[in-house]
Structure 1
Amino acid sequence: DKRFDVNMDGTVTLKRPLTLHEAYEVFSVHAWDANGKKHTIESPLDHPPSAFSRSLAGLKRAKRGWVIPPFHVPENSRGPFPMKLVQIRSAFAKETEMVYSITGEGADQDPKGIFTVERLSGNLFVTQPLDREKKASYRASIAESPMEILINVIDQNDNKPVFTQYPFNGHVHEATGKGTCIFMTVTATDADDPETYNGIVNYAIVSQEPPFPKSNMFDINILSGTIRVREPDMDREQWPRYTLLIVAADMEGKGSSTTGTAVITITDSNDNPPQFEQTSLSVSVPENKVGAVVAKLTVSDGDEVGSPAWSTKYRIISGDKGGFFNVSTGPSQLEGIITTVKPLDFEKTKQYVLSVIVENDDPCINYFPTSTATVTVNVEYVKEPPKVKVISKPKDSTVDTELVTYTATDDSLFIFLQP
């Protein structure tokens, strides 16, 4: 369309007066990138433009006029200032002398004085460097017309990413498998335009301490900052904590950057089953005593002290059919205490062979043989005090009168006659 001209910055201007016969008109603008690829955009003129002409009676609005497309100004320009941005021209500037003025943001409204226009030439100037992060666009208009001027501030990569925390803290179970768990996220913000590479942040892990059992135990999503386990075989007992040095950079990871840390605490999984320190012992217990302490079985456990993977519980699995014994966890949580709950009888059973197992409150993550202790309980005979039976003889009984008959089973029975 020979009525329009396109400048190198993408600004579209009129080459000659334009009359719109409809409410809008659409034209296409083509651009080619460095690789020769063609890009096309359709831009509508959706309002009939207006024009001004000067007569002896002063400024008058005409039915035809100009089109002022949005234009773009890079932020952080070094000037010199005032710096010319564009020339605003009426379609009838050749026919009559025009007077120009602007109103709106950056002109006569806050922030005031950023843009000025020469009355007769229509040259629009910016008086100072612009900051997109403070204000990304300005809307002004020709004072004599409702025609709007939109000034967009082009982003420069003048802000580097900033981490939202320092450090980031996360936790992960030592038994977590490869790539199965996203357990924490690091985030960084960038004040630049999020729609451009200037404001899009990429993440990368720079180092890991300690570097064991492998130097790349974790990986990070380059765009989201989520961290997950990359390699299995974490061992809390050897390496309870990792510190990752993370870099966040804009411009697809090639621009401005900053560093932060992620501290990862490895939480305990039950990968160390409890073990009896003595797996076989023989004890003696007196008969007829209830609540007697039979044995104290100590164990060891390599998991985190105080955790369910470390605390223990016990069971008698054989040798106590009559239910004479009980085993409970001692105050130290690493001790099983066997006591009698029924009186033992030497005459009935002289020996018990108990099998006792120990387990954790949390089940083990893998199969491990259960530790078992064998306790041989020998029942001690306790000689009972002699039994005394007092028999009263009736007054009218004769010498040969039979009072009562006893059959002796042991020598602990004494009989006394009472007249």
Structure 2
Amino acid sequence: HDFFIHSWDSQGRKLTIPNAADAQVPVLQFPEPGEGLRRRKREWVIPPLSFPENRRGTYPLKVFEVHTVSDGVGQAEDPMEIIVNVIDQNDNKPYFTGENFFFISSTPGTEVVRVEAKDDDEPDNLNSDLRYHILNQDPPLPTDNMFEINPVTGSIRVTGRGLDREKYPQYTLTVQAADMAGEGLTGQTKVILTVTDSNDNAPVFTQSLYTAIVDENKKDVEVVRMIVTDEDEPQTPAWNAKFKIVSGDPDGLFTVKTGTNKQEGILSTAKVGRNQEFLHNIGRYFHL
């Protein structure tokens, strides 16, 4: 058989021999395939990923390595770009940050607080899509569902009527955040709600009738002291009493002021008047 033989040296120069029958051309012997070693194609082997601790907060420089496996040495190929897309795994639990202590005074239906949890998984991904839920309310009084939480925003609202600081001054809510839209990993926190006082209790006189006698032509003379009680929180504006004469003294002969303890009204003469005996139901003429 006549055929051409082409060969190239390492510098890429081509050499062609036109006639294989030429005596100067050595005869190439190709042995039959045996069971010995065979040449394999090159392979890339990427070892398991490892992310060493980096205290500077930057990504590691070497995450991937490429190992070539070959039975021979050949011509190097052109560089090749390999793009690796890392798919997020749900490997982070939701967690709450900050203090969860709040003071509330609200009517049903209004927002009192808002809690927020975080998740270190990929943002805008199902693995970081959180839902909130109240697991427990302590105390469960006057009902066990005094509060509700928006599952998406974490906004807590008062739902039941009966917030009464004098009876239940504080509530502890156990709030859970779950990723995977509420079906995945969970984190919990305690939310402490302290009920602030509102002016929902009127002051009450300890006596319904006060009787006193005052001498004539006396000014700035104390006539009587009137005591009241109030069920609101002591020493708060809702508890402090303020006294005022509303009727029965058209000539302005008397004045009333609040004592230093804020629960006592002191009635005194305001100016010199006619001789009179002051005997009346004073309690009817005062309000707070």
TM-score range, shorter chain: 0.7 to 0.9
List aligned pairs for 1:299-310, cutoff 5 A.
299-310=228-239
List aligned pairs for 1:157-172, cutoff 5 A.
157-165=90-98, 168-172=100-104
Inter-partner Cα distance in structure 2 for 1:81 and 1:151: 12
**Match of residue 287 from structure 2:** 358
**Match of residue 178 from structure 1:** 108
Q: Is the 8 A contact 2:204 2:228 kept in 1?
A: yes
Give the root-mean-square deviation of aligned CA atoms: 2.7
Aligned residues: 233
Once the two structures are superposed, residues 294-313 of structure 1 have per-residue CA deviations (whole angstroms, 9 ceiling, x without a partner) of: 01000000001111111111
CA apart distance, 1:159: 1.2
**Match of residue 150 from structure 1:** 83
Inter-partner Cα distance in structure 2 for 1:241 and 1:57: 88
Inter-partner Cα distance in structure 2 for 1:268 and 1:292: 37
Inter-partner Cα distance in structure 2 for 1:279 and 1:110: 82
Q: Is the 8 A contact 1:312 1:358 kept in 2?
A: no
The 3 A distance-change label for structure 1 pair 205 and 295 is same
Q: TM-score with structure 2 length normalisation?
A: 0.73
Q: Is the 8 A contact 2:214 2:277 kept in 1?
A: no
Which residue of 102, 118, 141 maps to 1:212? 141
CA apart distance, 1:195: 2.4
Inter-partner Cα distance in structure 2 for 1:150 and 1:226: 42
**Match of residue 12 from structure 1:** none
Q: Is the 8 A contact 1:289 1:340 kept in 2?
A: yes
Query: What amino acid is the match of 2:242?
Result: K
Q: Is the 8 A contact 1:320 1:352 kept in 2?
A: no
Which residue of 99, 110, 114 maps to 2:64? 114
Q: Is the 8 A contact 2:150 2:156 kept in 1?
A: yes
The DSSP-based 3-state class of the residue aligned with 1:149 is coil
List aligned pairs for 1:39-50, cutoff 5 A.
none
Q: Is the 8 A contact 2:176 2:188 kept in 1?
A: yes
**Match of residue 247 from structure 1:** 176
Q: TM-score with structure 1 length normalisation?
A: 0.51
Inter-partner Cα distance in structure 1 for 2:192 and 2:131: 19
Among all aligned residue pairs of Structure 1 and Structure 2, give the percentage whose two residues are the same amino acid.
39
The DSSP-based 3-state class of the residue aligned with 2:228 is strand
Q: Does 1:82 align with 2:47?
A: yes
Between Structure 1 and Structure 2, which shows a larger proportion of strand residues? 1
Which residue of 122, 125, 140 maps to 1:196? 125
CA apart distance, 1:232: 1.9
Inter-partner Cα distance in structure 2 for 1:202 and 1:245: 14
Inter-partner Cα distance in structure 2 for 1:247 and 1:112: 38
List aligned pairs for 1:238-277, cutoff 5 A.
238-277=167-206
Inter-partner Cα distance in structure 2 for 1:172 and 1:339: 41
Query: What amino acid is the match of 2:171?
Result: Y
CA apart distance, 1:160: 0.9
Q: Is the 8 A contact 1:314 1:327 kept in 2?
A: yes
Once the two structures are superposed, residues 180-216 of structure 1 have per-residue CA deviations (whole angstroms, 9 ceiling, x without a partner) of: x222121211111122221222111000000001101
CA apart distance, 1:352: 6.0
CA apart distance, 1:57: 4.5
The 3 A distance-change label for structure 1 pair 55 and 350 is farther
Inter-partner Cα distance in structure 1 for 2:271 and 2:185: 78
CA apart distance, 1:144: 4.2
Runs of 4+ in 1 over 6 A off after TM superposition: none
Question: What 5-or-longer segments of structure 1 have no aligned partner?
Answer: 1-53, 59-79, 85-108, 122-142, 360-419
